[in-house]
Amino acid sequence: GSESAGTYGDSDFVVVANRLPVDRDASDPDQEWRTSPGGLVTAVAPVMKAQEGAWIGWTGVADVDFEPFTIDGMHLIPVTLTNEDVLRYYEGFSNATLWPLYHDVIAPPEYHRTWWEAYVRVNERFAAKVAEVAAESATVWVHDYQLQLVPQLLRRMRPDLRIGFFNHIPFPPFELFAQLPWRDEILRGLLGADLIGFQRPADAANFRRAVRGRLGYQTKGSTVTVPDSGDLPGHSVRAEAFPISIDTPYLEELAADPAIIERAAQIREEVGNPKVIMLGVDRMDYTKGIRHRLKAFGELLAEGRLNVEDIVLIQIATPSRERLEQYKIIRHDVELAVGRINGEQADIGSIAVHYLHHSYPRDEMTAFFIAADVMLVTALRDGMNLVAKEYVACRLHDDGALVLSEFAGAAEQLAGAVLVNPHDIGNLKAGILEAVQMDPKTRARRMRQMRKKVRTDTVSAWSKRFLSELDAIRDSPEAIVPE
């Protein structure tokens, strides 16, 4: 609380993200809350459960006002989006402009002024909500590409706050970022923070280069010096890498649960007890390289280098952003490829690809990870990719092999994986074969090394490091805290 009632809120720690950790089916707002999709929620929810604070975000339902509520020990404060906001800010600017631009323009980004106006308006709404609930000198942690203007908006309204920002997705090379008609506004928006975290050092370097190139500000190491502007005093900002991770102890506990182990054995039986189960787990997104993976697998079967009686691929793809054209296209392409492979390669009793377009509870996901001998993560570009780390955490016996794209942030941490370039189908096929044929001793050595990494670099260590650096910056003498 604070002395000056009415000016400050009660929360000393505020997380703000486009989504709350739970959402509702937009077609059925009377239904139960369920876990929201995506890596951000997987990573940040355990941090929030372990800590007092408020989480500000959207419920996934348009045009409905929800009161604040508490779930699993997390205090949630909904922000309302209208139907038009969902179309222009969420589906438009966030997911048809920024998402493809920040993922190497795998799909062409669209630039529309009406979408930008909605992005500004919704960022202002989120910032105003934070300003209302944050206590004096509170710590505010803003997440991801949907809210890049919030740091500067907040600094203007509430210079007392400590503001951190974490970008869960890549930050693009300057040559691509420079396409964005509102590139300078986005850079200034982010620079309102005291600390900006990225997944990889290369993302942080891309950002600092854009700041130098567009705004002409000086950078030294990871520190950017923001000069005085008309209405804001100058300050310094740190921009550096904080690779995100998973709740490893929790996953290890699930992976040791006899009921879940039993379920994994049952899955193996149900897919015909093959010699090898391969698994893919992704949101249905064109960045994930699902088409490339299926092409490689289909060719290996057609060439007789893999045999449909020995091997199955289970491809789980959570529905995502389904009204967007590019997402309709990827779903169509994936379903066509699955149909083709099964039509040409499968037989009664031996299906080649089990394709599941659903979301599953964590227990069931863990059973899939235990059942899989080979995990395929073949993203064309991915900020981190938590699925790769989750698979490793669940391999309690140091068995199993991971095929991992060079273009996922996780590749910098999981050196024991079979690294592949998914654009190179020949290389992808060779990587899959290498993983399938790898001898148990090599598998054990490589998995042990990767498990060690995910046991040390947990999501709790990640949030502690980010928040303690944020504390230290504001407490340091060179940080200018205006009166």
Q: Is 384 in the site for ligand ADP (CB under 6 A)?
A: yes
Q: Please give the C-alpha separations between residue 216 and each of 151, 174, 219, 381, 451, in angstroms, as whole numbers.
A: 20, 14, 9, 29, 43
Q: Which of ligand F6P, ligand ADP, none is residue 199 near (CB under 5 to 8 Å by kind)?
A: none
Residue with tokens 């998973």: 246
Of the residues 9, 39, 197, 280, which one makes contact with ligand ADP according to CB under 6 A? 39
Nearer to ligand ADP (CB atom), residue 194 or residue 390: 390
Q: Is 168 in the site for ligand F6P (CB under 6 A)?
A: yes
Q: Could you say which of 144, 247, 285, 382 is catalytic?
A: 382
Q: What tokens appear for 332 in the block? A: 């169509």
Of the residues 320, 366, 378, 458, which one makes contact with ligand F6P according to CB under 6 A? 320
Mention every residue, 6+ apart, whose C-beta is less than 8 A from residue 223. Answer: 236, 237, 238, 239
Nearer to ligand ADP (CB atom), residue 133 or residue 459: 459
Q: Please give the C-alpha separations between residue 253 and each of 88, 257, 450, in angstroms, as whole numbers.
A: 42, 6, 18
Q: Distance between CA 381 and CA 46 in Å, rounded?
A: 25
Query: Can 168 be counted among the known catalytic residues?
Result: yes
Mention every residue, 6+ apart, whose C-beta is less than 8 A from residue 5. Answer: none
Quote the DSSP letter at residue 62.
B
- The runs of H, that is alpha helices, within 218-373 are 248-255, 258-270, 290-302, 325-345, 362-371
Minimum Å gap between C-beta 37 and ligand F6P is 5
Q: Is 460 in the site for ligand ADP (CB under 6 A)?
A: no
C-alpha torsion angle, residues 200, 203, 205, 209 (rounded to 10):
180
Q: Which of ligand F6P, ligand ADP, none is residue 385 near (CB under 5 to 8 Å by kind)?
A: ligand ADP
Q: What tokens appear for 79 in the block? A: 């922000």
Minimum Å gap between C-beta 333 and ligand ADP is 18
Q: Is 59 in the site for ligand F6P (CB under 6 A)?
A: no
Q: Is 321 in the site for ligand F6P (CB under 6 A)?
A: yes
Binding to ligand F6P by CB under 6 A, coded x per residue (else -) over 73-112, reads: ----------------------x-----------------
Of the residues 251, 290, 324, 365, which one makes contact with ligand ADP according to CB under 6 A? 365
Minimum Å gap between C-beta 40 and ligand F6P is 4
Which residues, in sequence order, are bridge partners of residue 353?
313
Q: Is 389 in the site for ligand F6P (CB under 6 A)?
A: no
# chain residues binding ligand ADP, by CB under 6 A: 16
**Burial, 185: exposed, middle or buried (Cβ in 10 Å; 0-12, 13-18, 19+)?**
middle
Query: Can 333 be counted among the known catalytic residues?
Result: no
The 3-state DSSP class for residue 378 equals: coil
Q: Which of 38-46, 67-75, 220-228, 333-341 is the region at the interface with ligand F6P (rule: CB under 6 A)?
A: 38-46
Q: Identity (one letter) of the amino acid at 332?
A: H
Q: Which of ligand ADP, ligand F6P, none is residue 387 near (CB under 5 to 8 Å by kind)?
A: ligand ADP
# chain residues binding ligand F6P, by CB under 6 A: 13
Q: Which of 59-67, 110-118, 170-178, 356-364 is the region at the interface with ligand ADP (rule: CB under 6 A)?
A: 356-364
> End-to-end distance of the chain based on CA atoms, in angstroms?
20
Q: Which of ligand F6P, ligand ADP, none is residue 18 near (CB under 5 to 8 Å by kind)?
A: ligand F6P
Mention every residue, 6+ apart, whose C-beta is less than 8 A from residue 354. Answer: 271, 312, 313, 314, 315
Backbone dihedral region for residue 289 (phi beyond 0: left; psi -120 to 50: alpha; all else: beta) = left
Q: Distance between CA 378 and CA 410 in Å, rounded?
A: 11
Q: Could you say which of 103, 168, 292, 354 is catalytic?
A: 168
Nearer to ligand ADP (CB atom), residue 127 or residue 244: 244
Q: Which residues are catalytic?
A: 168, 382
- The residues that touch ligand ADP, with contacts defined as CB under 6 A, are 38-39, 42, 281, 283, 316, 318, 358-360, 365, 384-387, 390
- The residues that touch ligand F6P, with contacts defined as CB under 6 A, are 18-19, 37-40, 95, 144, 168-169, 320-321, 383
